[in-house]
Structure 1
Amino acid sequence: MSLTGTECDLNSDQGNKDPLSFLQEIVEATSSFKDRYFETHSIEDAINKSKDINDLIKKNLEIFNKHEQLGLSTNKACYHFLKGKLLNICSTYSKEAELLLSKAIKLDPKLVDAWNELGECYCKNEDLIKAKSCFEGALKEKRNKIALRNLSILIRLDCSSTREKKLENIEKGLAFAKEAIQLDPYDGLSWAVLGNAYLSHFFGVQQHPNTLKQCLSAYSQAEKDVVAKSTSDLHYNKGITFKYQEDYLLALQSFNEASLYDPTWEYPKNKAKELLRYLNEIQDLVNSKGKFKPKKLQQILQSIDSKQLGPYMGGSYTSSNGEKAKLTEIPYESMKPGLNDEKVILGKVICSVRNEDIVPFTFCTVDKAGQVIVTTVFNLADGKGVIIGDSVAIPEPFVTDVDFSYRENKFKFRMVRVETPVIMVVNSKKLGRNLQAGVQMSISRKFD
């Protein structure tokens, strides 16, 4: 669609067509131009997208102004709504759009689309309380996907005073997103919001890998819709999810794609830089074995003793509920990628890794043979962790072999992911629940 694709005149081109139907077609065409911009433009044109949209809005406003009297005489509420919606297509807040949409609702309180547009207008002005009220107003008139997915976002942004209320809001946000999908299973924007709701659940309720899989499944559904696929925030949120799933190459590629769709948005670029700093520091510490001098490192290796397995020593472990698990100690090099059933590893902490995000807590350990692994711990209480010299035993370690290149960076190291600190034995003692973050965990009872 060209910028002049909707530039026409009611009198010359539309004959006796209802003026509001004509104006509605203009608004829908303008909205489609924005949503499907990359169907007619290359990704290199992304830098011009905002200007092209604003130019088209400006051209079409002239048509609205030209036919204002005719539109108002036909249906004031509808005319104000359509003009307000046209102005609201712009990515930035418009005071005029707010006034027009407010007028439309006063004239016709049952105009569901006007409630939703006004809510989105308030969101752009960061007036989230009024926005929430608008979407709730839309739902009172009719259950609809736009109000539901926006309420999913807003209720999860609510800074509640208590943890219980925060958890309740996260669950409500997830429920709203699921209902939006039920109303229209083919709407990519609703799928994207569902993915974000699962991501909120991961951070706020339970840092479980299955939740990340649910995120990515929702994002995959969203990408089937060209409108959702061309939004930079979808790729940014995918990048965040891949990062915590420890699929670092996919995370970096997703951040890059987000930047391509919106070159003016700094968040994806900054996140990519942060992740590269994190990975490069890991690689440096693995290569240098924590930057220890050979003599000091040798002393650490000699201090590693199977007695430090504590309750995991002796080939088996009995949990607090009486469940017995077989455990065989193996060196780091004997671990296989994925879950290592009925195995336990032991090493000593040689360094921690700076991470600009709180999650996960990251450190490196070395075993008797001098092999170094990176350990990432999730669901760890704030301010808790291990220190250099601590012995750490991990039962049934889940292993990922990181091995990829990105631009001028090369990464190759072995990682062990720990979903909850309570399964670790540190300095011969099993960690207590006071080291676990205050979230509801779904973990195996085997090592409880």
Structure 2
Amino acid sequence: MRTPIEEVSAHLKEFNYEDWISELSKLTEWVYSFGNQHFPSSKQQRISDIEHQVCLCIEVLESVPQEKRELNHERAIFEYLKGRFYNAIPDVYKEEAERHLVNATRLNPRLRDAWHCLGSCFVKKGHIHRAKRCYQTVLEMVIFRCFFISENPAKHIEQSIKYAQRMLVLDDKDGICLYILGCAHFTSFLLTGGRDHNNLQLALEAYEKAKKIVAAKANPHLEYDCSMVNRYLENYKMSLIGFSDAASMNPASDALHQMKLTLQLLDKLEGLIQCKRNDKNKGKSKGKSMETNLPALIESLANIDLNPLYNRATMDLLAEGPNKRIAVIAAVWCLVKYEYKAPVYYMLCDSDENSFVLIAFGILKEAIKQGDQVTVLEPICKFIDFEWEGKHYQFKSVRVNLLEQVLVNGNALPPNSVIREPISYP
């Protein structure tokens, strides 16, 4: 049986080296995989075995005829592959690797993989600042593709996150890199229609770390983006403070407009909740915005069957944060109109007539309607309680990110209820 190196060599000769770049790129992946999985009895033996495979790969690479690598692009790829082969030995610096990778970046400064590999080479050499510059170059190219080229943006966001994390291993006080990492996580959240709140939390962590660094702290874009993330996370007070600060740093931005929108939303939510509280205290049978018979709907909530794996609860029994193995069943009495498509806000009332806000990410507005009976599984609860400019905002909300978290009138939502489009950024 032929080895992968022998197979590639035979294939190249058979097809006259027409696809040498593709075949040898695959071979570099194999060499790195071999190095990561090969563990003989001693470290020296391991290095010797990997070096032997690298030499065999270099021989195959050198067999590519000169006329097949005359163009600058081809020469750059040739130098990159050669440097990458030499760089394949874990934790071992090779001068040959650096020389060929530097040549590759000079021949083609936009060859991202060559910059990435050169950064790895400098890490092995102990030249951390030079490695960092290489990774910064890579990150700038990835960000450029992400924001200016629509082809597979999710892939470029994933690469941005990977490269930013690698740079932060070298320097965890790099404010620009932390900001880029936050932007990448935030963009990933937006691209998924808001379903992945883990990325939103990671974005906030990166932004908050960046704000502690003097060089990044004065960036109004950082403050603005952080405020947007806080609004999605329902950290409304921090969002308002951030928009106010961003507007002070850059009056030309729309930070004041976003601040106004946030307050309009809060006023509407608090007003609806307060109206329902007053109706409950006065013993009224229904709210002004509810055309359906709300008391009858609330009474019928007890008839909704519940999976025995979940415990039925009302809002006053929920803890802040995720509530595992808990289900809240409530009636929808109002859809809250808001300027943006996502998330969607509803006003609900549970069986004890506790009103709360349901915030739905990644679910079409039409999937849940006024008068529906909604079962929220494992609700993620948020307690809003703060003052702003003399007004007190106090209410509870429940967030859902996945279709599987919601039953409407006792039934699962159909798959076509998922929002496939990304959330538009203001």
CA shift, 1:141, in A, is 11
Contact 1:366 / 1:373 at 8 angstroms: preserved in 2?
yes
State the secondary structure of the residue aligned to 1:160.
coil
Q: Percent identity between the aligned chains?
A: 22
Is 1:423 the counterpart of 2:420 in the alignment?
no
Q: State the AA in 1 paired with 2:258.
A: K
Give the match for residue 256 of structure 2.
Answer: 269
Distance 1:137-1:416 versus aligned 2 partners, 3 A rule = closer
- Give the direction of change, closer, same or farther, for the CA distance of 1:291–1:354 in structure 2 (3 Å limit): farther
Give, in whole Å, the separation in 2 of the partners of 1:422 and 1:384. 16
Structure 2: runs of 5+ lacking an equivalent: 1-101, 120-133
Q: 1:137 to 1:358 in 2, by over 3 A?
A: same
Q: 1:212 deviation in Å? A: 2.0
| Amino acid in the other structure paired with 2:335 | S
Match for residue 284 of structure 2 among 288, 291, 294: 294
Structure 1 match to 2:20: none
Cα offset for 1:308?
Answer: 5.2
Secondary structure of 1:274's aligned partner: helix
1:357–1:145 CA distance, 2 compared to 1 (3 A):
farther
CA distance in 2, matches of 1:353, 1:334: 25
AA matched with 2:386: F
Cα distance in 2 between the residues matched to 1:288 and 1:257? 33
Is the Cα–Cα contact under 8 Å of residues 145 and 184 in structure 1 kept in the other structure? no
Q: Distance in 2 between matches of 1:277 and 1:148?
A: 42
Match of 2:173 among 186, 189, 200: 186
The answer to whether the aligner puts 1:222 opposite 2:210 as a matched pair is yes
TM-score, normalised relative to structure 2: 0.62
Q: Which residue of 2 aligns with 1:243?
A: 231
Alignment RMSD: 3.4
How far residue 244 of structure 1 moved from its aligned partner, in angstroms, is: 1.1
Among 409, 414, 425, the alignment partner of 1:432 is: 414
State whether structure 2 residue 375 is matched by structure 1 residue 393.
yes
TM-score normalised by length of structure 1: 0.59
Q: Which one of the candidate residues 375, 385, 388 is aligned to 1:403?
A: 385
Shift of 1:357: 2.5
Q: CA deviation at 1:227?
A: 0.8
CA contact 2:116–2:138 (8 Å) conserved in 1 = no
**Cα distance, 1:288 vs structure 2:** 1.8
- Amino acid corresponding to residue 293 of structure 2 in structure 1: Q
After TM superposition, give the deviation of residue 348 of structure 1 in Å. 0.9
Structure 2 letter corresponding to 1:169: H
| 1:328-347 per-position Cα deviation (integer Å, ceiling 9, x unaligned) | 22222232322333322111
Among residues 151, 154, 162, which one is paired with 1:175 in the alignment?
162
Secondary structure (helix, strand or coil) at the match of 1:303 reads helix
Q: Is 2:329–2:373's contact at 8 Å kept on the other side of the alignment?
A: yes
Q: Distance in 2 between matches of 1:278 and 1:158?
A: 32
What residue is the counterpart of 2:242 in the other structure? 254
SS in 2 for 1:366: strand
Aligned partner letter, 1:372: S
Partner residue in 2 for 1:232: 220
Which 5+ residue runs of structure 1 have no aligned equivalent? 1-108, 113-132, 317-324, 441-448
CA drift at 1:199: 0.5
Q: Which of 295, 311, 314 is 1:328 aligned to?
A: 311
Number of paired residues?
297
Deviation at 1:136, TM superposition (A): 5.9
Q: How far 1:405 moved relative to its partner?
A: 0.8
In structure 2, relative to structure 1, the CA distance for the partners of 1:423 and 1:141 (3 Å cut) is closer
Q: Deviations over 1:262-300 (max 9, x none)?
A: 2x2322111111111111111111122399993445931
- Map 1:108-187; keep pairs closer than 5 Å: 139=115, 144-160=134-150, 165-187=152-174
For 2:190 and 2:175, the matched residues in 1 are separated by 23
* Aligned partner of 1:354 among 337, 341, 349: 337
